[in-house]
Chains A and B, each alone.
Chain A
Amino acid sequence: MDLLLLVVSALLFPGLVFLTSLALFSEWVYRKLTARMQNRMGPSYTGPMGVMQPFADLIKLLFAKEVKRQRYAAIGLAEIGLIISISSIVASLLLFPISPLRFAAPYDIIVLIYFYAVWHTIGIIIAVLAYPNPFTVTGLSRLIAITVVVEPAVFISLLIPVLLASNIGCAPQYSILCTAAWSWRLWLESPASFIAMALGLISVLIASQAKLGLKPFDIPEAEQELIAGHITEYSGTMLALYNLSHDIKLAFTALMVVYLFLGGPYPYRHLSTAGILLLIVKYLISLMILTVIRSSFGRLRIDQGLNIVAKYSLVPSIIGLMVSLIETFIL
């Protein structure tokens, strides 16, 4: 294994630098689109069409704003938690075909779950608990309640393309790399496969909306009730890291949907013009769906939110998984 290539993949492309840029661009897209849907201008002045505004916000929080100490705060711990949540997502990008150095293994869907769900969530919980406050405690309890329903829905829906792709013979079995390369064929493979993929796509989009804390599932933050919920005490560098972590999760989730459900750039190659264009278009479409859902709904109450996720994400994903199991083992 080329160590230099590994470091470049982790730090530059598709690692920290690229994913941060993509995350900030994605934030601009969803802020601009939401603003236009609500008849506002959105970011307009910094850079062409305001595209540099999220970057300017990040720089302002990092360099101009102070970190306010709260009486019982453990700033170092909060930073470590947020850094864990960022780096776990960036590291799991090396399982996808977009990386110049790609890791693959049989059953590496488990590795993705380990980084994307376990480490990321642990990081966020460490960061939130480092700032004890009635509002953060309430926000965290809501966050955990949502996570308990959302994570099974996300991963049952991710299992659908992985299972179907391994069924049509891609190798290594049950790996992200082969699923990403073959997922476009699954839509055309058989009617059962199409139904399972459609249910998985719907389920993963709704679950991602809840996992990202976008409306109508921004219940842990709930401005009007909890000030800012689990991030009430964050300021300066800490808020910058939290926002970055959120945007990186948004960009990664959209990329994951593009590769595992919409087929990435395939059947074209990554380095061909058609492949790059297809990848960008699919990425923007998945980002647009998340934004449109966000702009179209008001916030739900916590029990309504949990019921909606269970009804429209968990149940479709279970049905989709059953259809794909029937397709794999019986048909």
Chain B
Amino acid sequence: MGTVILDPFTVTLALTSVMLLLMIVIYAIVLSIRRARTSQFSEEMYIGGEGEDILSLKVPSVLALYWGIIRRSWRRAFDILRGAVHSGVLNEWYSYMNIWLSLLILLSIIAIVMSVRIR
């Protein structure tokens, strides 16, 4: 039993080697089980039940689906932001930019103070 105190880099390397050891062991077990049990029976089948010429036209890409989801779920936040920036009044645009830059300055001050305190 024991605790090994190292630096983060060495811990990462040690745990990566543990992960590799585990991968080799699990892969050996899986390979020994799987080899005899692979079925070629349904290789030509496609689970959508459609021919490939139809499927290749109808399926949107992962990226398009992802952005679709993000756009739908963040639409409200986007509308609020657009309403704030694109009101057509120059003063509102100035105040929006001021708020945003103040937030950035505040965050940077917090980061500097934290780094000084941690040191």
Interface residues of A (CB under 8 A from B): 1-2, 5-7, 10-11, 15-16, 62-63, 65-71, 75, 79-80, 83-84, 86-88, 90-92, 94-95, 100-108, 110-111, 114-115, 119, 133-135, 137-138, 140-142, 144-145, 148, 172, 177, 227, 232-233, 236-237, 241, 302-303, 306-307, 325, 329
Beyond A137-B59, A329-B114, whether A302 also contacts B73 by CB under 8 A is: yes
User: B33 within 8 Å of A by Cβ?
Assistant: yes
The interface on chain B, measured as residues whose beta carbon lies within 8 A of the other chain's beta carbons, has a size of 53
- Provide the bound-state CA to CA distance between A70 and B44, in Å: 7
Contact A233 B19 (CB under 8 A): no
Contact B27 A79 (CB under 8 A): yes
User: B89 within 8 Å of A by Cβ?
Assistant: no
Beyond A11-B25, A88-B19, A115-B19, whether A134 also contacts B48 by CB under 8 A is: yes
A-B contact pairs, 15 of them (CB 8 A): A10-B21, A67-B37, A79-B30, A80-B27, A91-B19, A94-B18, A103-B11, A103-B14, A105-B7, A137-B59, A141-B62, A145-B66, A237-B37, A303-B69, A306-B69
Return A147 CB to nearest CB of chain B, in Å. Answer: 11
Chain A interface helix/strand/loop/mixed: helix
Contact A233 B15 (CB under 8 A): no
Contact B22 A87 (CB under 8 A): yes
Closest 4 CB pairs of A and B: A141-B65, A87-B22, A303-B73, A66-B39
Using A63-B37, A69-B42 as known contacts, list a sample of 9 further A-B pairs with CB atoms less than 8 Å apart, ordered by residue number in A.
A6-B18, A70-B42, A79-B30, A87-B20, A111-B12, A137-B65, A232-B47, A236-B37, A303-B72
Interface residues of B (CB under 8 A from A): 1-8, 10-12, 14-16, 18-23, 25-27, 30, 33-34, 37-48, 55, 58-59, 61-62, 65-66, 69-70, 72-73, 110, 113-114, 117
Contact A105 B5 (CB under 8 A): yes
Return A327 CB to nearest CB of chain B, in Å. Answer: 13
- Provide the bound-state CA to CA distance between A25 and B60, in Å: 40
- Provide the bound-state CA to CA distance between A88 and B20, in Å: 9
Central interface residue in B5, B18, B38, B58, by most chain A CB within 10 Å: B18
Contact A83 B44 (CB under 8 A): no
Beyond A103-B4, A236-B34, whether A134 also contacts B59 by CB under 8 A is: yes
Return A54 CB to nearest CB of chain B, in Å. Answer: 18
- Provide the bound-state CA to CA distance between A84 and B11, in Å: 18
Beyond A83-B30, A227-B47, whether A91 also contacts B69 by CB under 8 A is: no
* Set of chain B residues within 8 Å of A329, measured between Cβ atoms: 113-114, 117
* Set of chain A residues within 8 Å of B19, measured between Cβ atoms: 84, 87-88, 90-91, 115, 119
- Provide the bound-state CA to CA distance between A193 and B44, in Å: 60
Return A179 CB to nearest CB of chain B, in Å. Answer: 14
- Provide the bound-state CA to CA distance between A67 and B37, in Å: 6
Interchain CB contact (< 8 A) of B43 among A69, A95, A110, A144: A69
Contact B11 A111 (CB under 8 A): yes
Contact B39 A67 (CB under 8 A): yes
Interchain CB contact (< 8 A) of A103 among B1, B6, B33: B6
Nearest A residue to B114, CB-CB: A329
Return A274 CB to nearest CB of chain B, in Å. Answer: 19
- Provide the bound-state CA to CA distance between A64 and B114, in Å: 57
Contact B37 A16 (CB under 8 A): no
Interchain CB contact (< 8 A) of A233 among B1, B7, B12, B47: B47
* Set of chain A residues within 8 Å of B6, measured between Cβ atoms: 103-105
Return B70 CB to nearest CB of chain A, in Å. Answer: 6
* Set of chain A residues within 8 Å of B114, measured between Cβ atoms: 325, 329
- Provide the bound-state CA to CA distance between A11 and B19, in Å: 10
Contact A87 B23 (CB under 8 A): yes
* Set of chain A residues within 8 Å of B66, measured between Cβ atoms: 141, 144-145
Contact A68 B21 (CB under 8 A): no
Contact B4 A101 (CB under 8 A): yes
